[in-house]
Amino acid sequence: MAELWQKVESPFIQAITDNLAAKCVFLDGTVMLVGDAVAGLRPHTTARTNQAALHVLLSKKVFEKGPTTSVGEWEQKILEWSTIAHAVGIKLGNLSQCDEHPMAEKDEGPEI
């Protein structure tokens, strides 16, 4: 791995940052956050495309003729899904990078 890294001409490191909006509807429903503006989901979850697709599908129900979803209901659904996806990403990241994995073999050391 070190040999491969040394051969990379322009290496870069991508910082993982977490963001989660507390609300996504502003100015009486005239401004609505969608996609990564609501929640910057971690790349290892591969959930950003799902989040964007969900936002589009739910938005259609707000803006179609004879809307079936209010802006308030839309916001509640958007925030609920994004909050769960955000928490899962953090938990997965912590398990794989920082915390002790629940299936890891434990080295109890020698018996005394």
14 contacts: CB under 8 Å, gap ≥ 6: 43
Spatial separation of the C-alpha atoms in residues 83 and 38, rounded to whole Å: 9
At residue 12, the pLDDT reads 76
Mean pLDDT, all residues of the chain: 84
Mean pLDDT of 59-79: 90
How far is CA 4 from each of CA 1, 7, 8, 9, 97, rounded to the nearest angstrom?
A: 5, 5, 7, 10, 21
Confirm whether pTM is higher than 0.75. Answer: no
Outline where 1-112 has alpha helix (H): 2-7, 48-63, 71-97
**Per-residue pLDDT tens over the stretch 5-21:** 888 888 777 777 788 99
**Per-residue pLDDT tens over the stretch 19-55:** 899 999 999 888 999 988 999 888 877 888 899 999 9
What does the domain layout of the chain look like in residue ranges?
A: 16-97
What percent of the chain clears pLDDT 70, i.e. is strictly above it?
Answer: 86
